[in-house]
Amino acid sequence: MINQINKKRQTTSLKISRVFGRETDKGNIVELLMKTDEPKEENFGVLTIVGMGGLGKTTLAQLVYNDEKVKVHFDLKAWFCKSEEFDVAKITNGIIESVLGRRSPTFQFMYGKKGSKIIVTTRSQRVSKIVGNAPPYFLGGLADEDCLSLLWQSACVDDNHLNVHPELEAIGMGIVEKCKGLPLAVKSLGGLLHSKYEIEEWMNVLDSEIWELQEDESALCDVLESLVNIRLVRMNTYPCNFRHPRGYLKLYGKCIKAQCISLSGLEVVNMADIKEVNFKKNQFIEELTFEWDGGIERAVSEEEVIEYLQPHSNLRKLNICNYSGTRYPNWMLTMPNLVAVHIKSCNVLSTAGLGQLVVTFPQDYENK
């Protein structure tokens, strides 16, 4: 089974949480896999799952892959995630390594046992026509009821919370209706609202101008997913003037009126997105936190990232965690109101040249 992915979202894990509303789709695809009516000139079938980003194509493929009927029917299974670069040899070796647990000599995957099947997930109907030798399976959106269940799960809302805050039921339904059946959009918003039960916070999401993206569901989904990957940990208000469907990091520039903003997950960003940020124009920010994951390889230079994230001169406090650069950003000494810098697990340990700044190295750093 091959999942066609883009650089923004790479799905490799086969462990998935509870899935809502895809039992019928799973049953339909499992039934198609069991058929043995490939054309005579073909020795294996290629079934494509087609749909826009955020519909859950990969999740559905995972459900099918782990189905008991599939496990019994096929002697061997392999899962492989393909990047934007198409390389037959890499795909072949990836599949073989998935089966054997080791690398093998390079050769093209041209033949298979009669009845073998390949599932390819893709957004593109053109790709489906090229690689598929069976009618594509077009995936639709989730029903609102299933989206609501997914929202409750993602936001950690149970019956007890709904009994205490009955207004959440109507607000939640309003949010999922605007998500137009896109489970990733629902899950992303649920992540933003996780363990938040104040009605005002939910109403901020429901009434947000982010819904101006609703004419382009795929763009909306990309932006909402990015809000989870670059987690907005601490924010006073939601977007006040959001109009950038593809440049999601612009959210953290002049469009957000927040005194304290924390960005984590910076190890996975790319410079094109970082350059969309313009903190220098956001006069509301008084405290900034930049955090990288210490155990993940960086996609781009951390020194470049932190340099481009230069804030407005009103900044008073800066927190840096797991930064592995060898120097502080040049703008640190140009901040007239910056009075405190907190550093945790960083290679930059010297305070030389930082003037009157109060620099601390707490043992137990937390973003509070």
Rg over CA atoms, the chain: 24
Q: Read off φ and ψ for residue 203, nearest 5 degrees.
A: -70, -35
pLDDT in tens, 252-280: 444 455 577 777 777 767 777 677 777 88
pLDDT-based confidence at 16, cuts 50/70/90? low
With tokens 């647990």, the residue in question is: 101
Write the DSSP string, 91-128: HHHHHHHHHHSS-----------TTEEEEEEES-HHHH
Going from the C-alpha of 288 to that of each of 78, 101, 162, 176, 316, the distances in angstroms are 44, 44, 34, 31, 9
Domain with 266 in it: what CATH number?
3.80.10
pTM score, whole prediction: 0.58
Residue ending a domain, among 165, 197, 229, is: 229
Sheet holding 260-263, edge to edge: 260-263, 287-291, 317-321, 340-344, 358-360
CB 279 within 8 A of CB 311: yes
What is the mean pLDDT of the segment spanning 177-196?
A: 86
Residue ending a domain, among 175, 206, 229, is: 229
Judged against a pLDDT cut of 60, whether residue 331 lies above it is answered with yes
Q: Which of 284, 351, 291, 347 is nearest to 315 (CA)?
A: 284
Domain that holds residue 360: 231-368
**Total number of domains constituting the chain:** 3
Q: Please indicate, yes or no, whether residues 157 and 124 belong to a single structural domain of this protein.
A: no
Max CA distance (Å), the chain: 79
Residue ending a domain, among 107, 138, 169, is: 138
Q: Please indicate, yes or no, whether residues 252 and 351 belong to a single structural domain of this protein.
A: yes
Q: What sections of the chain are H helices per DSSP? A: 23-34, 57-65, 68-73, 88-100, 125-131, 144-155, 159-164, 167-178, 183-192, 199-206, 217-229, 271-274, 302-308
Work out the percent of the chain whose per-residue pLDDT is above 90: 23
Q: Please indicate, yes or no, whether residues 244 and 366 belong to a single structural domain of this protein.
A: yes
Q: Please indicate, yes or no, whether residues 102 and 167 belong to a single structural domain of this protein.
A: no
How far apart (Å, rounded) are the C-alpha atoms in residues 25 and 85? 29
- How do strand 260-263 and strand 287-291 relate by DSSP bridges? parallel
